[in-house]
Structure 1
């Protein structure tokens, strides 16, 4: 697996039981996803990073204040429904949308080796967040897409071992990244279906 993915919690390692997706482990993996935008190394992604980081914090605060009723993401959402603000429910909803955007973008890049990141992230945005954004926010994302680094430079950062280890095997790298993305996609799809079934996003 690529050195970067060896340094963060993988979505493939997030426990999922009949009760739902483990909240703490999911949050740990989500922080690893946040680091991808740091590797993109563009100030244009600051609004995206800030949004994801803020939504992680909303869910994390709910978990820390109510660990007994928030062990899984599903339990967290269900147990917040009697409250007026539903801050964590809203935060998780937008976090999932941001994760869907990132996942779709990287899956597009993985499926098209000659595709530059600007195109991959544009496709990811069009298939996820765009329908939820107003004109102003769409403009912010449009600027960010154009500011994506070259694919080659970004992938080199994903593969490079900060400690100066041996070169990453290409097949092993792709296997690790694909597994990470497939697991993320599965969790996002599961929670999106959960939100739709319970109509938990209504009014948020």
Structure 2
């Protein structure tokens, strides 16, 4: 075993070509991010994990159905356009929103070393998902933000080797995490721009 970020595919390693973002690699990296919530060790974040997982399933189902038309996320969305129910397009849209929320929260935490995770996740929620949620869902997320673990505990788990090996050094973790988040931020921004340019987000 190894520290968590060494065990999952980094968004920095997701291939991006002129044709778009590699679908299979992106989904694998997204699954790695979902697992990150296990380190937060809070049942309140179950709603976030379940939403991310459900949307990953929708996108993967479309890829499995027509892989040659879905090898990049952009092609997947373009080729679903015109169908009555664009499940993968909607799933990817919400997946991007959830990834943006998590990415922003961790970027805020990285930029403010003295700030607790509850503050960072609260700020990220206000800047991302909150605009799309009704009163009830906002309440659920409010509880989740308050249930964040202490910053020190989370980063200790992120550095730890579950098998009992040496923990990652702080410098290594920060370099790895910042690279991971920068790549994720770039992918989310790229795809959100793509959605708006093609009006793929209309109706959702």
Once the two structures are TM-superposed, the CA of residue 166 in structure 1 deviates from its matched residue by 1.9
Identify the residue that residue 138 of structure 1 maps to in structure 2: 138
The equivalences for 1:3-152 within 5 A come to: 3-152=3-152
1:198, distance to aligned residue in structure 2 (A) = 0.4
**Which is further off, 166-175 or 5-14?**
166-175
CA distance in 1, matches of 2:173, 2:152: 14
Structure 1 CA distance for aligned equivalents of residues 171 and 126 of structure 2: 29
**1:86-142 Cα shifts (integer Å, max 9, x gaps):** 000000000000000000000000000111010000011111111111111111100
1:63 Cα deviation from its structure 2 partner:
0.5
Count, aligned residues: 203
| RMSD of aligned alpha carbons | 0.8
* 1:167 Cα deviation from its structure 2 partner: 3.0
Q: Give the distance between the partners of 2:127 and 2:183, measured in 1 at CA.
A: 18
- Output the TM-score relative to the length of structure 2: 0.98
Structure 1 outlier segments of 4+, above 6 Å: none
Whether the aligned pair in 1 keeps the contact of 2:3 and 2:167 (CA below 8 Å) is no
Q: Identify unmatched segments of 5+ residues in structure 2.
A: none
